[in-house]
Amino acid sequence: MTDAEKPVELADLLDTNDLVGMRLWLAEHPPYEIADALARLPPERAIVPFRLLDKDRELEVFEELDPGQQQAILVGLRDSAFRELLEKMEPDDRARLIGEAPAKIAARALAGLSPAERRMTAALLGYPENSVGRFMTPDTVVLHRDLTVARALEVVRAKGAEAETVYVLPVVDHGRRLSGLVQLSDLVTSSPDTLLKDLVDVFTPRTYATDPAEDAARLMQEANLVALPVVDSEERFVGLLTFDDALELIEAADSEDIARQSGSQPVHGHYAAVGVLRLARARAAWLLLLIIASTLTVNVMQGFEATLEQVTALALFVPMLTGTGGNVGSQSATAVVRALAVGEVRLRDLHRVVWKEGRVGLLLGAMLAAIALVIGSLLVGTGIAAAVALSVVAICVWAAVIGSTMPLLARRVGVDPAVVSAPLVSTLVDATGLLIYFSVARAVLGV
């Protein structure tokens, strides 16, 4: 690839302080690509290209950024620009930004808002973190169920241009209680004097504003909904959760689960913009805990030190056995954690899951034992090989049972099942697996 063909990167233009180049680059790229480029920059530098954006594109780019990146941009803006940007944001995005910001920025942000916008934002901030209320869109067009289609279209025409979501419209009764949703396309294609109550889909699912946002997003995925109506405890309509929130929630939830599965705390923010220290901090807690837990393995090995001195060759297979146990346990744990996350397994399925995974472990153990027997016989002789093979079977069943039980137990005590990570299962299976191995070896070899 010659230099001329290589795509110009915003970061390079920023490095050379090429203002003209940056302006051109910004004009040529769609908002989501600009946001992606800004997200890759260290937060304190992203403000430079952001200030070069056309006034009318500022908001679009800003709304594509994560709350953390938005914060970094905001603190770099003059007060008037700061207030203007916040005032124009969508209420749910604004609430999330303010909810995650330090108290000082949050106060400055709320103070700068017009009374109407402040009221809307304060209402959303009243909902618990990670609840549907924090992510929903409150300012949608609401239609009364006794309206005709013709009248409803007039309402949409009058108010629809400002409202965020007009693919689907909530239909309510006299007490603002939700009847259901009506699709804009149904309004357009239905005869003008049809009543809305005859168009509403009675099976439309709904969610409470205090429900977990991730569950609502998974429901939207399962039921193919472009928007999910949100109600309060008295079934009154309070907002819409829209498909873009669902997409974002599912991707974020999966990213968190994936991080937890590897024994990390989730790191929010773009990988390229997150520093070494923050990455290390997110990973340190579990590693510390696990290395301390692994002292157990040292203790078990010490308990069998006499056996080890007699038959040093037993030590040769320790990494193979702990590795295999960890692998089988991780597979089981990962499968069950994912099945829980997407709703395919529930708490009451515990005994069915463990029974299934135990049998999977037995099958895999039998297969791996055969291999271990061959490898062991070739390298050290049949006695030790037999001990290794028998241990492999026992360890695989045990690892599968532990790996599948722990996520369900975590869910039962209200902990995110995803903390039952591959490293955690491996570490737990290591110590118990060694106990199995040396006990079996002593019995088989008679030492």
Residues 195-214, interacting with a second copy (CB under 8 A)? 203, 205
Number of chain positions touching a second copy (CB under 8 A): 116
Number of Cβ within a 10 Å radius of residue 282? 16
Q: Is 363 in the site for a second copy (CB under 8 A)?
A: yes
Residues 59 to 118 in contact with a second copy, rule: CB under 8 A: 64
- Cα 54 to its chain centre, rounded Å, is 33
Q: Does 290 bind a second copy (CB under 8 A)?
A: yes
287 binds a second copy (CB under 8 A): yes
CB of 118 to a second copy, least distance (A): 25
Q: How many CB atoms lie within 10 A of CB 159?
A: 14
If the CB atoms of residues 367 and 443 are measured against a second copy, the closer one turns out to be 367
What whole-number distance in Å separates Cα of residue 283 and Cα of residue 290? 11
Contacts 24+ apart (CB under 8 A), 86-89: 86/112, 86/113, 87/112, 87/113, 87/114, 87/117, 88/59, 89/59, 89/62, 89/63
For position 16 contacting a second copy by CB under 8 A, the verdict is no
Query: How far apart are CB 338 and a second copy at their closest, in Å?
Result: 5
Which CB atom, from 68 or from 112, has the smaller least distance to a second copy? 68
**Pick 107 or 313: Cβ nearer a second copy:** 313
Check: CB of residue 326 under 8 Å from CB of residue 426: yes
Provide the mask over 252-271, with x wherever binding to a second copy is found by CB under 8 A and - wherever it is not.
--xx-xxx-xxxx--x--xx
Least Å distance, CB 372 to a second copy, is 7
**Pick from 216, 238, 246, 228: which is nearest to 168 by CA?**
228
Per-residue interface string for the shown chain with a second copy, residues 385-414, x marking contact by CB under 8 A: ------------------------------
The span of 96-104, 170-178, 182-190, 406-414 binding a second copy (CB under 8 A) equals 182-190
User: Does residue 326 interact with a second copy by CB under 8 A?
Assistant: yes
The residue within the footprint of a second copy, chosen from 82, 317, 398, 438 (CB under 8 A), is 317
Q: Compute the distance between CA of residue 81 and CA of residue 227 in angstroms, rounded to an integer.
A: 32
Q: Map the footprint of a second copy across residues 30-59, applying CB under 8 A.
A: 30-32, 36, 39-40
Establish if 167 lies at the interface with a second copy (CB under 8 A): yes
Residues numbered 132 to 161 that lie near a second copy (CB under 8 A) are 153, 156-157, 160-161
